[in-house]
């Protein structure tokens, strides 16, 4: 029930709690410490700033109004001296004496109502190069009339939670580097106000009309503070960063006066009855968050993820705040809300920052897809306009034009196309997510997935058709009867290339499947996820061999690091087994989308499918009938336009499907296993079918077994449709399993530890906590 702990509340025992053992004399020497306090120009925030600065800390006042901040800094000079006078037993590095020795107080512009400004404020601080030992998320609003923030969220939730979420997670790398460190989050007893069965109604947070009264909306935001604190504390449970949440009590400050001046009748009644009895002086109320920010007891007793009330006493919050599901639901929602910049995803233990909800849902990816697909649609329309113009003069060709375009659409779903595009897309995404983070990319140079894999493959494939069509049109009489002979010769080459490539990429994905399956076993067995990246290992091993003996690099370690973890990783590279050494050339073979073009050319050498032979047959027949060469070239143009459109759509779809599996190695590990398994099956099934079909055809083998594969080779389009359907169903299954399966509970209890991180690994350094701010896209 709401306010279930009200009779345990300190308001009823103010005198007892005021006699707490923690006081300003208990604050240790803070010289050399750097702190940020949000909402620091008045009330609790200002009192916290004064106390921290009086004990030697370098304090940043994070707030919107520069004028008010400068006034607060000026006013603080006298208040700091007064505090030192009132508590002479406090330990100070030095006594401040007016202008001779001024406390270190600075203004940091922070607007909690806009997430981009929160991110900008954090970035401004990071650029200073200072450590950060104390972060007090004190800022907030209370009982505001309904309005939406600049980002479109209910104002209480936006300022009290979302702004601090973005600000804190952006600073988290620096906080971890500065450990031991503290994070204190301000909440309220009002966090018990929302209904316990559904504490935060996420559907109402972006509603354009009020869906609840002011106090309920405020209560939702304060419950979010408690849930966020507990979720963050769990992720940092093995770090020297202590995160706790505080209810400061009713404070005789501007916030309290805001309540009393409210037009809400319920607030006025509540205020008249209780507030004046329970109100704390600001200086006393600040002691609880100061206790959590600086007291040695927090580290000594490993106090983390706890809820404290005045003065420095622990209290159990509302039971719903202990729910891991509720915590993770808020975290996921906050991540999605923060899409304006880097998506924040903190794995338990590593606390590594990753990309947006998926890197494939970023504006850059959508823009890239829109440009690519829009261009292809425009090309298709333009080709059909030319075809319509030609059909006006040669109406008998219209049927052949439709057939040519249909052949292109159908040929795009041939099994060899889908297998090549899907597996290469997966390889590029896996490689990019694993390797490019070592290149030290910038903030605005983020990853976009390989959109053009299918496009370049289809263009390479179509090149042969276009060249052959030109040749056919130029020499129709002599070539028309030899198409089948050319098809047989080219078929051997094209099918051989296809089989070899599919087997190699199939073995590559089989190795990845093995590592993923091994990780699943380790998770269930040990409760830890020790992340090992096969592609990263392989390419790092190649780098070691290349740089062996180079100045500043001993024993082949990348970057010359002598870190123990890197040496262990290098050792594993050297003993990585047959697969790591055997497929190293393959990993370096196709590392950009455009390199699918020559592969498409090789695939196109085989005119073993009815579509391509039929396409050339149309061209030959038309040329023999005396149609102009320019008109005849409309047929391969239609064929290419249709095939490129479908192949590009396939590549984009698989980029989304595969990319979804790489955002979080725990949450998506099961999906990764399933979709990789499908990729392996497709590669081997198609490769074996092509190989056996080729053998049966060239060696003239007989029997039902060989006839089956001959029939299969002549009907690869049917296999292609099956592959498309299976991948769609697999993707939908993974999405549903993620939403309704036990993945969130598994993620909550599993500790993620990436092995082999070096100091140059910006996204996954366990010891240094490097931040992945997005990866560079140079596929296309």
Task: Give catalytic residue positions.
Answer: 218
Closest by CA to 754, choosing from 558, 528, 557, 543, is: 528
Helix (H) or strand (E) holding 117: helix 115-127
DSSP 1: -
Beta-carbon contacts of 183 under 8 Å, excluding residues fewer than 6 positions away, are 135, 137, 168, 175, 232, 241, 242, 243, 244
Q: Could you give the CA distance from residue 82 to residue 148 in angstroms, rounded to a whole number? A: 41
In the three-class reduction of DSSP (H, G, I as helix; E, B as strand; rest coil), residue 340 is classed as: coil
Q: Facing residues of 679 across strands?
A: none
In the three-class reduction of DSSP (H, G, I as helix; E, B as strand; rest coil), residue 484 is classed as: helix
Q: Could you give the CA distance from residue 485 to residue 527 in angstroms, rounded to a whole number? A: 61
Beta-carbon contacts of 164 under 8 Å, excluding residues fewer than 6 positions away, are 38, 112, 118, 137, 139, 185, 225, 228
Q: Which residue has the tokens 């290992």?
A: 537
Sign, Cα dihedral of 462, 468, 474, 479: negative
646 in Cβ contact with 418 (< 8 Å): no
How is 245-303 classified by DSSP, letter by letter? Answer: EE---SBSSHHHHHHHT-S-HHHHHHIIIIIHHHPBPHHHHHHHHHHHHH-HHHHHTT-
692 in Cβ contact with 495 (< 8 Å): no
**Where does residue 63 fall: left (phi above 0), alpha (psi -120 to 50 degrees), or beta otherwise?**
beta
Give rounded-to-5 percent helix, strand, coil for the chain: 65, 5, 30
Q: Could you give the CA distance from residue 218 to residue 209 in angstroms, rounded to a whole number? A: 16
Q: Could you give the CA distance from residue 329 to residue 673 in angstroms, rounded to a whole number? A: 24
How is 591-631 classified by DSSP, letter by letter? Answer: -SGGGHHHHHHHHHT---SHHHHHHHHHHHHHHHTT--HHH
DSSP 162: I
311: cis peptide before it, omega within 30°?
Answer: yes
Q: Could you give the CA distance from residue 353 to residue 775 in angstroms, rounded to a whole number? A: 12
319 in Cβ contact with 196 (< 8 Å): yes
At residue 586, what are phi and psi to the nearest 5 degrees? -65, -40
Distances (CA, A) of 169 to 122, 172, 298: 9, 5, 21
How is 406-463 classified by DSSP, letter by letter? Answer: HHHHHHHTSHHHHHHHHHHHHHHHHHHHHHGGGG---TT------TTHHHHHHHHHHH
761 in Cβ contact with 428 (< 8 Å): no
């Amino acid at each position: 029930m709401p306010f279930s702990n009200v009779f345990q509340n300190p308001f009823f025992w103010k005198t007892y709690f005021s006699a707490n053992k923690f006081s300003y004399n208990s604050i240790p020497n803070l010289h050399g410490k750097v702190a940020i306090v949000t909402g620091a120009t008045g009330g609790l925030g200002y009192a916290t700033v004064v106390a921290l600065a009086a004990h030697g800390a370098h304090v940043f006042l994070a707030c919107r109004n520069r004028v008010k901040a400068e006034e607060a800094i000026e006013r603080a000079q006298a208040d700091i001296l007064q505090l030192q006078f009132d508590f002479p037993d406090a330990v100070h590095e030095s006594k401040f004496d007016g202008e001779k020795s001024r406390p270190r107080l600075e203004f940091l512009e922070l607007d909690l109502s806009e997430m981009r400004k929160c991110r900008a404020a954090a970035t401004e601080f990071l650029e200073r190069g200072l450590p950060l030992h104390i972060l007090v998320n004190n800022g907030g609003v209370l009982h505001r009339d309904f309005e939406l923030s600049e980002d479109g969220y209910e104002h209480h939730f936006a300022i009290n939670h979302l702004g601090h979420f973005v600000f804190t997670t952006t600073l988290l790398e620096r906080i971890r580097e500065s450990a031991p460190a503290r994070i204190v989050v301000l909440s309220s007893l009002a966090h018990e106000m929302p209904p316990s069965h559904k504490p935060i109604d996420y559907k109402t947070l972006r509603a354009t009309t009020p869906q609840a009264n002011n106090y309920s909306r405020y209560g939702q935001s304060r419950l979010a503070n408690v849930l966020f604190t507990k979720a963050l504390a769990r992720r940092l449970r093995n770090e020297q960063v202590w995160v706790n949440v505080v209810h400061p009590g009713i404070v005789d400050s501007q916030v309290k006066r805001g309540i009393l001046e409210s037009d809400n009748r319920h607030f006025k009644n509540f205020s008249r009855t209780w507030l004046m009895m329970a109100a704390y002086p600001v200086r006393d109320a600040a002691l609880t968050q100061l206790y959590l920010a600086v007291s040695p007891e927090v580290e000594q007793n490993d106090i983390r993820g706890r809820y404290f009330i005045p003065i420095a006493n622990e209290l159990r919050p509302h039971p719903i705040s202990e729910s891991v599901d509720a915590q993770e639901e808020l975290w996921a929602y906050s991540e999605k809300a923060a899409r304006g910049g880097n998506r924040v995803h903190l794995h338990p233990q590593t606390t590594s920052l990753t990309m947006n909800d998926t890197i494939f849902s970023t504006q850059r990816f959508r823009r890239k897809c829109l440009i690519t697909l829009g261009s292809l649609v425009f090309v298709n329309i333009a080709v059909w306009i030319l075809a319509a113009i030609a059909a006006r003069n040669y109406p008998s060709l219209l049927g052949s034009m439709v057939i040519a375009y249909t052949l292109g659409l159908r040929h795009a779903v041939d099994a060899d196309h889908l297998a090549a595009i899907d597996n290469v897309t997966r390889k590029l995404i896996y490689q990019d997510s694993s390797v490019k983070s070592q290149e030290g990319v910038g903030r605005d140079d983020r990853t976009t997935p390989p959109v053009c894999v299918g496009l370049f493959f289809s263009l390479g494939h179509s090149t042969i058709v276009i060249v052959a069509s030109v040749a056919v049109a130029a020499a129709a009489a002599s070539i028309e009867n030899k198409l089948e002979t050319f098809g047989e010769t080219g078929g051997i080459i094209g099918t051989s290339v296809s089989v070899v490539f599919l087997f190699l990429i199939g073995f590559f994905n089989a190795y990845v499947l093995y590592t993923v399956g091994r990780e699943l076993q380790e998770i269930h067995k040990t409760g830890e996820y020790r992340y090992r990246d096969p592609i990263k290992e392989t390419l790092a091993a190649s780098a070691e061999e290349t740089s062996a003996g180079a100045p500043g690099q001993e024993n082949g370690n990348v970057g010359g690091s002598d870190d123990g973890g890197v040496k262990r990783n290098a050792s594993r590279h050297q003993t990585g087994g047959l697969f790591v050494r055997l497929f190293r050339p393959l990993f370096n073979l196709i590392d950009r989308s455009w390199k699918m073009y020559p592969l498409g050319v090789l695939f196109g050498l085989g005119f073993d499918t009815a579509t391509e032979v039929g396409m050339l047959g149309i061209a030959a027949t038309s040329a023999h009938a005396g149609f102009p060469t320019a008109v005849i070239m409309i047929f391969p143009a239609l064929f290419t336009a249709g095939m490129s459109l479908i192949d590009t759509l396939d590549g984009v779809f698989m980029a989304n499907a595969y990319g979804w599996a790489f955002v979080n190695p725990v949450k998506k590990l099961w999906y990764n296993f399933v979709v990789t398994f499908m990729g392996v099956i497709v590669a081997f099934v198609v490769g074996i079918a092509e190989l056996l079909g080729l053998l049966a055809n060239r060696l003239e083998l007989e029997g039902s077994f060989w006839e089956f594969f001959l029939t299969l080779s002549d009907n690869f389009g049917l296999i292609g449709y099956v592959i498309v359907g299976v991948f769609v169903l697999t993707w939908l299954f993974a999405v549903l399993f993620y939403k309704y399966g036990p993945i969130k509970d598994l993620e909550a209890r599993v500790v993620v530890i990436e092995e082999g991180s070096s100091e140059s690994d910006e996204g996954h350094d366990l010891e240094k906590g490097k931040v992945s701010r997005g990866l560079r896209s140079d596929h296309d």
